Amino acid sequence: MSDNERIQRLERLLEVSRNLSASLDLEPFLQSVLSVASELTNSEVASILEVKDDEQLRFLAVPWFHRESLQTVSVPIETSVAGWVYRNAKPAVVADVAAEPRHFKGVDRVAQFETRSIMAVPIVYKGEALGVLETVNKVNQANYTEEDLIILETLASQVAVAMQNGRLMSHVRKAVDEVDHLDRMKSDFIAVASHELRTPLGLILGHSTFLREVIQTEYQPQLDTIVRNAMRLKEIIDNIANMDNVERGVASVRRRTVSIRKVAQEVLENFSAEVQKKRISLQADLGKDELMIEGDASKIATALTNLVKNAILFSDAGGHIFVIAEQIPGYVKVSVIDDGIGIPTKDLGRIFERFYQVESHLTRKHGGMGLGLSVAKVMIEMHGGRIWAESVEGKGSNFTFILPLDSGQADAAKRVFAS
């Protein structure tokens, strides 16, 4: 063989290696291996077999003209050349098949093909035999050479990697399918549960409100406990439903002209009794302007409500909370600042994740499911806004969000934040 021919062979082998790194589809890659194997070893055909149930080999890749006839054919491991190669993890070269007792004649009968010579090598990945790569019938009745064997073993190593990648991709797809299935079950459960819970909860709140007007004073504290915990349950259901609606793509922003100043005033008014009871100072600096934007007032109110509730929850008696709203170029900026317990640095990057709670001992002390901040984040980002937090443990936190002034600015902001 001339040096030029050797260089051409090496180039073809390199081409196979490049195809392996570039291709995610197993079948086209294996077909290219068969083509190169036949070409570089001067063989009539080539094929790839893989093990099936540790008892038989089946054809994983064959030339197109044999695909239909061989797709259901199994090759016995105990009585075939390919089976011997697979069992012993060693190559085999058979110059005269007619004199080889290990040759399995069933393939020739089905494919209406005459096998005269065979060269087969094991496909091994990290010590595990996965199958066999073989070439059949060296042209011009020639014998397979040591160089042919090296070429086939090189190709087999590439096939081993491809087959293992295929296995891993199959496992990944199966895992993804299972996750998708579980996610659909979760969404269905949340939708049904939240719907079914709202009806009895509404009745509890309705009758409790009625009883508050007629019940004796001595029982008012017990009734207040019922109402307070029913409202807490309602908040949990609403938060879960809000997150699920966003994930399912059924939530949308109903844009209207909204006064952020008015939204903030209404939210803060709802907390007046709570902060008074807990002896927390809740102050606001909302300026004199209305701070008008195009947005969904209820979703913005939900986000701000969750931030203020979070600040109250993690502030001790005598603490201070400040809500500041102002207009900056292209946006309205709202900050909720407290001097509460603060957030540990290691947790700060995860506080907007669903169900994430800072420090188990804080959870036990203050309660909560870890949904409020994630809901706030979703509500703001649906507007094309952005939310973030700054905190020093033991000194307090500053939660800030910005909302674009109009839908055009919102679309541009979504592109910027996404990048």
Looking at 153, 174, 195, which one is the last position of a domain? 174
Structure letter (DSSP) for residue 99: G
Q: What percent of the chain has pLDDT over 90?
A: 46
pLDDT tier at 1 (50, 70, 90 boundaries)? low
Mean pLDDT of 336-356: 87
pLDDT tens string 189-223: 777 777 788 788 888 888 888 887 888 888 888 88
Which stretch of 189-203, 236-250, 343-357 has the lowest confidence by average pLDDT? 236-250
Residues 48 and 82 in one domain: yes
Whole domain around residue 229: which residue ranges? 181-247
Mean pLDDT of 397-414: 81
Residue 382, pLDDT > 80, answer yes
Residues 121 and 26 in one domain: yes
Residues 228 and 268 in one domain: no
Residues 148 and 98 in one domain: yes
Residues 74 and 119 in one domain: yes
- Distances 21 to 25, 111, 132, 136 between C-alpha atoms, Å: 11, 33, 21, 27
Residue 412, pLDDT > 80, answer no
Quote the pLDDT of residue 114. 92
Looking at 200, 229, 247, which one is the last position of a domain? 247
pLDDT tens string 140-191: 889 999 999 998 999 999 899 888 988 888 888 899 999 888 877 877 777 7
Residues 147 and 186 in one domain: no
Residue 252, pLDDT > 90, answer no
Show the tokens assigned to 184: 């659909």
Report the 3 state secondary structure along 317-386. Answer: CCCEEEEEEEEECCEEEEEEEECCCCCCHHHHCCCCCCCCCCCHHHHHHHCCCCCHHHHHHHHHHCCCCE
Residue 367, pLDDT > 80, answer no
Show the tokens assigned to 347: 């947790």
Taking the C-alpha atoms of residue 133 and residue 125, their distance in angstroms, rounded to an integer, is: 13
Residues 186 and 289 in one domain: no
Q: State the average pLDDT for the chain.
A: 86
Residues 278 and 374 in one domain: yes
Residues 194 and 260 in one domain: no
Which stretch of 23-32, 219-228, 258-267, 404-413 has the lowest confidence by average pLDDT? 404-413
What is the CATH classification number for the domain harbouring 105?
Answer: 3.30.450.40
Q: Label residue 200 exposed, middle or buried (CB < 10 Å: 0-12, 13-18, 19+).
A: exposed
Residues 191 and 121 in one domain: no
Residue 417, pLDDT > 80, answer no
Which stretch of 13-17, 81-85, 354-358, 359-363 has the lowest confidence by average pLDDT? 359-363
Mean pLDDT of 367-391: 85
Quote the pLDDT of residue 360. 45
pLDDT tier at 4 (50, 70, 90 boundaries)? low
Quote the pLDDT of residue 363. 46
pLDDT tier at 322 (50, 70, 90 boundaries)? very high
Residues 242 and 268 in one domain: no
Quote the pLDDT of residue 386. 95
What is the CATH classification number for the domain harbouring 407?
Answer: 3.30.565.10
Quote the pLDDT of residue 364. 44
Quote the pLDDT of residue 302. 92
CA angle 181, 185, 189 (to 5 degrees): 170
The answer to whether 76 and 114 have CB atoms below 8 angstroms apart is no
Residues 219 and 125 in one domain: no
Mean pLDDT of 124-138: 93
More confident position, 416 or 225: 225
Q: How many domains does the chain have?
A: 3
The answer to whether 371 and 232 have CB atoms below 8 angstroms apart is no
Looking at 230, 247, 264, which one is the last position of a domain? 247
Residue 352, pLDDT > 70, answer yes
- Measure CA 68 to chain center: 38
Strand 56-61 versus strand 396-404 pairing type: unpaired
Taking the C-alpha atoms of residue 367 and residue 387, their distance in angstroms, rounded to an integer, is: 23
Quote the pLDDT of residue 226. 87
Type of residue numbered 47 = S
